Amino acid sequence: MSARILNGNLLRDQILSEVKSEVAALSAAGLRPGLAAVLVGGDPASQIYVRNKTKACDQVGIFSETITPSASTSTDEMLHLVADLNRRDDIDGILVQLPLPSQVDAARVLLAVSPKKDVDGFHPVSLGSLVTKRPGLVACTPAGLIEILKRSSIPIAGRHAVVIGRSDIVGKPVALLLLHENATVTICHSRTADLPAIARQADILVAAIGRPAFVTREFIKPGATVLDVGINRLTDASEVRRIFAGLPEKLTQFQSKGTLLVGDVHPKDMVELAGAYTPVPGGVGPLTIAMLMSNTVKAARLRRGR
């Protein structure tokens, strides 16, 4: 029996369609959700991310505004900008695109964003609300992972979930969300003893460690659901040949483009052993922007007590 592919593009379209209906209803009542994106400098990847987020806003009817301070901006200037956005009633979500220039204290800037407008879900208040199961905004990628499981009718309650990675952005929040859904959760990291043996116990395996094809067949329980959060860009031909041996279409793609995306899970091992899995690309990634749109609408509702 072949592994089931959990198609993030299809799930993204479902969520965006639902958000569009919500935005239309809110707008009809005189409340159009608004998102401000702050993009500092000319980082090409950041420009693409912000452009995609603006496009999604247009698609669902959310008001969006992109603010582009110069690359020489200071921490104080950024703090003043965030304070202005915090005060604006037409802005429900504030997105500070990372990375920021080296002279800017990114931690101070992110902390200055009002928790009520923290659509990234990075603020300590947002994380605290998640820990205590209070209403609040949840980081987009972890929220998207739960949506993938639920919308794919994959049971969570009573299952053993293993999360590889302990970042504040993915690892810790997704572990808490899984716990809230009554999974038994183990968090692993670079210092975990006999990591493959622990991962192999997982009914649901989340890989968010940021190392290309790090999770191999020794980590995967046959039939497990594997959620691959990693997005690693390969440019080394020998590494591509090692990871994608036996997949000629991928090697041809690399020869054509000179680059190739791979997740944190070895693609061939995942396909051969998993019961269901998220591909890279086209798995977890599309859900992140969809959940940002959902968070913006949620922020608009929470701010106004709706």
Which residue numbers are catalytic? 53, 97, 120
Cis ω before 101 (30° cut-off from 0): no
* CA distance linking residue 150 with residue 190, whole number of Å: 29
How long is the chain?
A: 306
Q: Are 297 and 20 in contact (CB under 8 A)?
A: no
Query: What is the rounded CA–CA span in Å between residue 266 and residue 45?
Result: 24
Distances (CA, A) of 283 to 47, 155, 247: 22, 18, 19
Contact predicate 59/35, CB 8 Å: no
Token readout for 11 is 């799930």
Chain centre to alpha carbon of residue 116: 19
Q: Which tokens sit at 59? A: 């698609």
Contact between 48 and 108 (Cβ < 8 Å): no
Cα–Cα dist 163/178, whole Å: 10
Phi/psi at 299 (nearest 5 deg)?
Answer: -60, -40
Count of Cβ atoms closer than 10 Å to residue 44 Cβ? 7
- For residue 101, what is the DSSP state? P
204, 173 contact by CB (below 8 A): no
